[in-house]
Amino acid sequence: MSLFDRIERLMGAQPKSKNDAKQRLKLVLLHDQCDISPKRLEEMREEIVAVMQKYVEIDREAIDFKLHKENGKIALVSTVGVNRVNSRQVA
């Protein structure tokens, strides 16, 4: 969920469709099951991005982190746009 989506949700914007509402409900339920608040998930996202930036240049507009439940297990799934690999060596 993007920052814009969170702001819309906080401001009381209506979902664009029934599917959007279902996805948001699933996200809330997953957060409850994982005991991870949206704030904590955002903190995790920022830390993961900071580590990745040591190695690659990231398109910060093309980052998506989601919780996904399958076969009774919950996974953090991310999509991160990479512009290029950094040339410096990390010790």
pLDDT digits (tens, 9 = 90+) for 54-91: 999 999 888 888 777 778 787 888 888 899 998 866 55
Work out the angle at residue 78's Cα, subtended by the Cα atoms of residues 80 and 90, and round it to the nearest 5 degrees.
55
pLDDT of residue 47: 92
pTM of the full structure? 0.54
Backbone angles phi, psi at 37, to 5 degrees: -75, 160
Cβ-contact 45, 66 below 8 angstroms: no
pLDDT of residue 2: 64
pLDDT of residue 51: 92
pLDDT digits (tens, 9 = 90+) for 3-52: 556 656 655 655 567 777 777 776 666 666 666 777 888 888 889 889 99
